[in-house]
Structure 1
Amino acid sequence: MKVAVTYEKETGNVFQHFGKTEFFKIYEIADGKIISSQVIDNGGKGHHDLPPYLKNLGVETLILGNRGQGAIDAIAASGLKEIPGITGSADEAAEKFAKGELKGNFNAKCNHH
């Protein structure tokens, strides 16, 4: 299974504004463990184009910080599962997800929306 996390390269943390995400860290997960990961750019995409871009890469689940209603709709329309409201280390979030321990906050929204 492929999981994408909005990624802040400078800190290694989950990037908090989905529509302005420049990078994603893609994790391949099997048997409750991360077996590989890579950092990719956003493919020149933004906001509504990001979910289909990730889906076309084989991503099934998106771990992210905050997002606006447009992003919520685009994520749902693409068929991606989302786990929003995540902060801190992207690697730690992916490890928790792999173990089935990551809990999202579906009230997490960008404060300018």
Structure 2
Amino acid sequence: MILAIPYENGEVFQHFGKSKEFQLFEIENGVIQAERILSNEGSGHSALADLLGKQGVTVLLCGGIGDGAKQALSQWGIRVFAGVQGEVKQVTQDYLADRLVVTEGATCNHHHEHHEGEEHSCHGDSCCH
């Protein structure tokens, strides 16, 4: 299994469509075998879904994500767990231990501008399994 997390300064980046880097974890039998950083080569959710799909990603843990991104990821067979917050390595360990916490309201509302220091405005679902 290859697990991906949008990444910034060691934390889960909270806006999937604007992710610049992903931390990838190769997991076998519930144990991390390898990890690396993957830089975003495009923009928008379709380019990000293609980038992750071509890397063989099977699971995405993320903060806010829109329905279009979820659909693009599902076309690659990637399971999405949204509403995730915290330090990337801890989130990964929580996922592997089946104690991952997701936050309600993690579907991004793309009708807003998100500026440094403002709350991230989201609505609706908590995650897409």
Does the CA contact (< 8 Å) of 1:33 and 1:99 recur in 2? no
Cα RMSD after superposing both structures: 1.7
Q: Does 1:27 align with 2:18?
A: no
Partner of 2:124: none
Percent of residue pairs identical: 36
Counterpart mapping for 1:68-107 below 5 A: 68-105=66-103, 107=105
Greater radius of gyration (CA) = 2
Q: Does 1:65 align with 2:63?
A: yes
- Pick which of 96-105 and 81-90 moved more: 96-105
- Unpaired segments ≥5 residues, structure 2: 112-129
Q: How many residues align?
A: 111
TM-score for both structures, normalised by structure 1: 0.87
The structure, 1 or 2, with the larger RCO (C-alpha pairs under 8 Å, 6+ apart) is: 1
2-structure distance, mates of 1:75, 1:104: 18
Does the CA contact (< 8 Å) of 2:2 and 2:56 recur in 1? yes
Q: Deviations over 1:27-58 (max 9, x none)?
A: 01122221221111012243122112211111
2-structure distance, mates of 1:85, 1:59: 19
- Pick which of 102-111 and 45-54 moved more: 102-111
